[in-house]
Amino acid sequence: MRPIPIEFHIGPLTIHTYGIGLALTFLFAIWYMARRFREAGQPADWLYRDGAKIVAIALVGSRVVHVVANITFYLANPIQIPLVWHGGLSSFGGLLFGVPAGVHYMRRNCPGLGTLRALDIAAPVLMAGWAVGRLLGPQLMIHGGGHPTLAWYGLAYAGQTGKRIPVPIFQAIEDAVIWGLLLLTERRAPHAPDGLLICLAAGMWGITRFTDEYLWLAVPPVWDAVEVMALVLSLTGWVGSFVLLRRPPRDHRTLDTESLGSSTGARGREPP
Task: Identify whether 230 is part of a domain.
Answer: yes
Q: What is the pLDDT of residue 136?
A: 87
Q: In whole angstroms, give the CA distance from residue 192 to residue 247.
A: 9
Phi, psi of 77 (to 5 degrees): -135, 65
Alpha helices in 43-195 (DSSP H): 45-69, 71-76, 91-109, 115-136, 167-188
| Among 18-32, 164-178, 184-198, 248-262, the least confident range | 248-262
pTM of the model: 0.82
Q: Count the domains in the chain.
A: 1
Task: Identify whether 50 is part of a domain.
Answer: yes
Q: Reply yes or no on whether the pLDDT at 86 is more than 70.
A: no
Task: Identify whether 270 is part of a domain.
Answer: no
pLDDT in tens, 235-253: 999 999 999 998 776 655 4
Task: Identify whether 15 is part of a domain.
Answer: yes
Task: Identify whether 253 is part of a domain.
Answer: yes
The domain in which residue 11 lies consists of: 7-262
Q: Is 235 exposed, middle or buried (0-12, 13-18, 19+ CB in 10 A)?
A: middle
Task: Identify whether 269 is part of a domain.
Answer: no
Q: CA torsion sign, 162 to 163 to 165 to 171?
A: positive
